[in-house]
């Protein structure tokens, strides 16, 4: 059973790694919501975020913070650009704008991490480990864009 779980988690990580993510976020709660409320908050945040970024897609998983025991949402976010990502410095400015929008629409606590996605930093593996969590399974919101969709290697 453990080997099967590990294999499935690796497949989820591989699939997530094949998508064009632009941001990695950690959203915290200022209170202790129940698991159902965490999932509802994630979908509500995503819905609000898409008002400004209609092609956005995300994958979110939840864990409990080691210090407070409060839920945290770990979010991979992509689809911020209607076409191929713009060249610098416009790319960095666009990501900064999206980060600020993500922070503005999160109403349940703080956004403690809002960083450009870097595939070498392990975010995909981290969020994939919670894909089958019995309380809050990983949530795919929207339709991801395959890496091969754009020729730029930036995302």
Domains of the chain (ranges; CATH) run 20-144 (3.30.70)
pLDDT at 66: 82
Q: At what angle do helices 35-52 and 90-105 cross, to 10 degrees?
A: 140
pTM of the model: 0.88
Of 8, 23, 13, 24, nearest to 125 by C-alpha is: 13
Beta strands (DSSP E) in the chain are 21-28, 57-64, 71-78, 111-116, 139-141
Backbone angles phi, psi at 69, to 5 degrees: 80, 5
> What is the DSSP pairing of strand 139-141 with strand 21-28?
unpaired
Predicted pLDDT at 2: 79
Classify residue 73 as exposed, middle or buried by CB count within 10 Å of its CB (0-12, 13-18, 19+): buried
Cβ(84)–Cβ(145) under 8 Å? no
User: Would you give per-residue pLDDT tens digits along the chain (155 residues)?
Assistant: 678 888 988 999 999 999 999 999 999 999 999 999 999 999 999 999 999 999 999 999 999 988 888 899 999 999 998 788 899 999 999 999 999 999 999 999 999 999 999 999 999 999 999 888 888 899 998 876 555 444 444 44
Cβ count near 139 (within 10 Å): 18
DSSP 132-154: T-SSS--EEES-PPBGGGSS-S-
pLDDT at 89: 95
């Amino acid at each position: 059973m453990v080997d099967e779980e590990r294999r499935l988690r690796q497949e989820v990580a591989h699939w997530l790694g094949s998508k064009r993510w632009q941001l990695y976020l950690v959203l915290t709660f200022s209170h202790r919501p129940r698991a159902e409320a965490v999932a509802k908050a994630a979908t509500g945040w995503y819905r609000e975020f898409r008002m400004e970024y209609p092609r956005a897609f995300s994958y979110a998983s939840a864990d409990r913070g080691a210090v407070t025991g409060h839920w945290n949402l770990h979010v991979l976010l992509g689809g911020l650009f209607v076409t191929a990502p713009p060249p610098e410095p416009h790319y960095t400015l666009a990501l900064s704008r999206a980060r600020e929008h993500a922070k503005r629409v999160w109403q349940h606590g703080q956004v403690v991490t809002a960083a450009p996605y870097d595939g070498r930093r392990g975010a995909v593996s981290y969020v994939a480990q919670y894909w089958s969590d019995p309380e809050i399974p990983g949530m795919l919101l929207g339709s991801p864009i395959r890496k091969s969709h754009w020729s730029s290697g930036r995302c």
